[in-house]
Amino acid sequence: GAGVSQSPRYKVTKRGQDVALRCDPISGHVSLYWYRQALGQGPEFLTYFNYEAQQDKSGLPNDRFSAERPEGSISTLTIQRTEQRDSAMYRCASSLMSGGTEETQYFGPGTRLLVL
């Protein structure tokens, strides 16, 4: 597709369950980012990939959160043993490359996660 796609768009889960959120970046984009956006706030950085390498995971809140991008394209953000405080919009973005003039990040529609 022409833009960043994410699935599922909505996810309702029970506390304690694991969830996997998928991101398919714009074709040819080297860099991929995950952000989390609480209601009424701006997105906050979680992690960043350059090709398949996870270059920075400093924004992941704890070890229940992990992400991978094994072939340098599609990425999965996994949350284990979900808690109610994990409820938020999870956004994926991609850019042609990191740094320089092609660093503009284009966002997907997000996955809204609700943990009951």
**Residues forming the site for other proteins (CB under 8 A):** 31, 33, 35, 40-45, 48, 55-56, 59, 89, 91, 93, 95, 98-101, 103-107, 109-110, 112
Closer CB to other proteins, 48 or 65, in the complex: 48
Closer CB to other proteins, 18 or 103, in the complex: 103
CB contact burial 26-45 (16+ within 10 A = b; e otherwise):
beebebbbbbbbeeeeebee
> In the complex, what is the shortest distance from the CB of residue 24 to other proteins, in angstroms, rounded to a whole number?
16
Of 67, 61, 69, 90, the closest CA to residue 24 belongs to: 69
> In the complex, what is the shortest distance from the CB of residue 42 to other proteins, in angstroms, rounded to a whole number?
3
Nearest-angstrom CA–CA distance, 2 and 72? 18
> In the complex, what is the shortest distance from the CB of residue 47 to other proteins, in angstroms, rounded to a whole number?
10
> In the complex, what is the shortest distance from the CB of residue 43 to other proteins, in angstroms, rounded to a whole number?
5
Closer CB to other proteins, 18 or 44, in the complex: 44
Nearest-angstrom CA–CA distance, 27 and 87? 29
Closer CB to other proteins, 84 or 101, in the complex: 101
* Whole-number CA gyration radius for the chain: 13
The amino acid present at 80, given as its one-letter code, is Q
